[in-house]
């Protein structure tokens, strides 16, 4: 989709089904098979390319800078190696051997160095806001994906953690993850993306409005700085806002949940009354 001048742009770098289809030899490799989304040895939701593929890296750098120039900012996803044990393609094996580093440290250096290049394009050249997205694993991002939060912190304006789920019925866990990331990210603002409805979803299998409001307030009291809600279409976002406004009892109950931060979320919902009129 073309970048919009009044909307931040989301770009997934290595999770790229179209490029994987066009260049099947670029797919990330492991002892448990390639990172096709059909490989159930891993939790891969897209076809994931090798994170050192030089042509893809170069093309993405130019693309990201171009998108940054045409929109207020760039939010990245899929910045890392596919999963644990990736990538053992001949190029990665050779790069690792030449580096003289341990396997984990070599992967970390590959991700950090590339993110430094991307950050330079967006922040220094295009002079736009830059947000790095990571997966919701506070402890083993390094071993699984080559991601080191302390390395990335100086390169990004804010972090985004995608916490998509088909339900948020146990908010205790989401609140805990929020506290974990808040601690690890220190002064870098934490944004969390929540799932309302995705492409082709049966609405009966998506989170309830009450769950979304509750988890939002509980993330707020745990320190989250921004919450993003995912829908496939703008109409679905309006429907969610309408449903949230209609949850008078839930909004009333949540007033006692989290002081000022929780109240900020509830004030946002109140402001939606105007949006959905
Ligand atoms: Zn590779």
**185 CA from centroid of ligand 1 (Å):** 28
Distance in angstroms (rounded) separating the CA atoms of residues 13 and 64:
9
**4 CA from centroid of ligand 1 (Å):** 33
State the SS3 of 202-260.
CHHHCCCHHHHHHHHHHHHHCCCCEEEEECCCHHHHHHHHHHHHHCHHHHHHHCCCCHH
**36 CA from centroid of ligand 1 (Å):** 14
Distance in angstroms (rounded) separating the CA atoms of residues 77 and 75:
7
Instruction: Decide the pairing of beta strands 158-162 and 226-230.
Output: unpaired
**155 CA from centroid of ligand 1 (Å):** 24
Q: Do 28 and 48 meet the contact criterion of CB atoms below 8 Å apart?
A: yes
Contacts of 221 (CB under 8 A, 6+ apart): 175, 257, 258, 259, 261, 262
**50 CA from centroid of ligand 1 (Å):** 4
**47 CA from centroid of ligand 1 (Å):** 14
> Does the structure show a pLDDT above 80 at 276?
no
Distance in angstroms (rounded) separating the CA atoms of residues 112 and 149:
10
CA-nearest of 238, 137, 231, 143 to 184 is 137
Number of continuous H segments (helices) and E segments (strands) in the chain: 11, 6
Q: What is the pLDDT of residues 191-213, one digit of tens each?
A: 999 999 999 999 899 999 999 99
**30 CA from centroid of ligand 1 (Å):** 9
What does the pLDDT read at residue 194? 98
Distance in angstroms (rounded) separating the CA atoms of residues 31 and 9:
35
**156 CA from centroid of ligand 1 (Å):** 25
**84 CA from centroid of ligand 1 (Å):** 13
What does the pLDDT read at residue 109? 98
Q: What average pLDDT does the segment 41-58 reach?
A: 95
Helix or strand run (H / E) with residue 62: helix 54-70
Q: What is the pLDDT of residues 203-250, one digit of tens each?
A: 899 999 999 999 999 999 999 999 999 999 999 999 999 999 999 999
What does the pLDDT read at residue 193? 98
**92 CA from centroid of ligand 1 (Å):** 4
Largest CA distance in the chain: 62
**101 CA from centroid of ligand 1 (Å):** 16
What does the pLDDT read at residue 45? 85
Contacts of 33 (CB under 8 A, 6+ apart): 39, 41
Confidence band for 70, pLDDT divided at 50, 70 and 90: very high
**126 CA from centroid of ligand 1 (Å):** 29
**275 CA from centroid of ligand 1 (Å):** 47
Enumerate long-range contacts of 171-178, CB under 8 Å, 24 or more apart.
171/211, 171/214, 171/215, 171/218, 174/215, 174/218, 174/219, 175/215, 175/218, 175/219, 175/221, 175/222, 176/222, 177/136, 177/138, 178/218, 178/219, 178/222, 178/223, 178/224
Q: Average pLDDT of the chain?
A: 96
Confidence band for 1, pLDDT divided at 50, 70 and 90: confident
What does the pLDDT read at residue 275? 81
Q: What percent of the chain has pLDDT over 70?
A: 100
Q: Do 73 and 129 meet the contact criterion of CB atoms below 8 Å apart?
A: yes
**97 CA from centroid of ligand 1 (Å):** 13
**146 CA from centroid of ligand 1 (Å):** 13
Distance in angstroms (rounded) separating the CA atoms of residues 55 and 93:
18
Contacts of 205 (CB under 8 A, 6+ apart): 166
> Does the structure show a pLDDT above 90 at 43?
no
**63 CA from centroid of ligand 1 (Å):** 21
pTM, rounded to two decimals: 0.95
**216 CA from centroid of ligand 1 (Å):** 38
Q: What is the pLDDT of residues 84-132, one digit of tens each?
A: 999 999 999 999 999 999 999 999 999 999 999 999 999 999 999 999 9
């Amino acid at each position: 989709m073309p970048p919009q001048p009044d909307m931040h742009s989301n770009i997934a770098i290595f999770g790229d089904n179209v490029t994987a289809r066009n260049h099947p030899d670029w797919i990330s490799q492991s002892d448990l098979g390639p990172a096709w989304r059909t490989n159930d040895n891993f939790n891969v939701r897209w076809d994931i390319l090798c994170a050192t593929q030089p042509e893809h890296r170069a093309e993405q750098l130019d693309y990201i800078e171009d998108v940054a120039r045409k929109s207020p900012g760039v939010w990245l996803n899929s910045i890392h190696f596919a999963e644990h044990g990736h990538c053992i393609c001949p190029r990665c094996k050779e790069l690792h051997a030449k580096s003289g580093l341990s396997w984990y440290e070599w992967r970390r250096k590959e991700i950090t160095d590339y993110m430094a290049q991307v950050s330079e394009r967006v922040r220094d050249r295009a002079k736009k806001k830059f947000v790095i997205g990571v997966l919701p694993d506070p402890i083993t991002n390094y071993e699984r994906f080559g991601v080191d939060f302390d390395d990335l912190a100086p390169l990004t304006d804010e972090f985004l953690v995608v916490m998509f789920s088909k339900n948020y019925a146990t908010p205790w866990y989401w609140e805990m993850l929020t506290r974990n990331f808040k601690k690890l990210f220190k002064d870098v603002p934490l944004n969390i993306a929540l799932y309302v409805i995705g492409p082709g979803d049966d609405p009966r299998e998506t989170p309830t409005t009450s769950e979304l409001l509750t988890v939002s307030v509980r993330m707020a009291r745990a320190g989250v700085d921004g919450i993003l809600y995912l829908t496939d279409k703008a109409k679905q976002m309006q429907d969610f806002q309408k449903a949230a406004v209609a949850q008078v009892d839930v909004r009333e109950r949540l007033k006692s949940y989290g002081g000022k931060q929780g109240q900020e979320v509830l004030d946002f919902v109140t402001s939606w009354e105007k949006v959905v009129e």
